[in-house]
């Protein structure tokens, strides 16, 4: 299946697994840190359709991992090479979700 044929939840699931693995986090710990339920994260990572995945979930995950919404939803982050941004930090170098 090509990337163009993937459903949004398959792309999000792949990206979320990759980002979480880069931080060496369990689903439970990611849930605690972001406020997104463990069940939601589990379904996303299994690439299952999630009917109640909304903008607030996208924002929480993007803020934590320091990625833009379009990156989480539309691109295959696992194919990126030479990205200087480390998951879990914002582009300015500070920790995500904290004031400068």
pLDDT for 4: 53
CA dist 11 and 44 (Å) reads 9
**To which CATH superfamily is domain 3-78 assigned?**
lambda repressor-like DNA-binding domains (1.10.260.40)
Q: Is 57 exposed, middle or buried (0-12, 13-18, 19+ CB in 10 A)?
A: buried
Backbone angles phi, psi at 89, to 5 degrees: -130, 155
Contact call for residues 20 and 46 (beta carbons, < 8 A): no
pLDDT for 74: 78
CA dist 46 and 42 (Å) reads 6
Distances (CA, A) of 34 to 27, 82, 88, 90: 10, 26, 11, 15
Per-residue pLDDT of the chain (100 residues; tens, 9 = 90+): 445 557 888 889 999 999 999 999 999 999 999 999 999 999 999 988 888 888 999 999 999 999 999 988 877 887 764 454 445 444 444 444 443 3
pLDDT for 92: 43
Q: What is the pTM of this model?
A: 0.71
Name the residue among 55, 54, 68, 56 with its Cα closest to residue 96. 68
Name the residue among 36, 25, 91, 29 with its Cα closest to residue 61. 36
pLDDT for 91: 43
């Amino acid at each position: 299946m090509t990337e163009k044929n993937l459903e949004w939840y398959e792309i999000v699931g792949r990206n979320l697994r990759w980002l979480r693995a880069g931080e060496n986090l369990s689903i439970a710990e990611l849930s605690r840190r972001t406020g997104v339920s463990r069940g939601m994260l589990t379904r996303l990572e299994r690439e299952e359709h999630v009917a109640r995945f909304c903008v607030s979930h996208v924002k929480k995950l993007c803020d934590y991992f320091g990625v833009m919404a379009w990156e989480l939803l539309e691109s295959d982050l696992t194919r990126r090479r030479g990205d200087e941004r480390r998951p879990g930090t914002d582009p300015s170098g500070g920790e995500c979700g904290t004031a400068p």
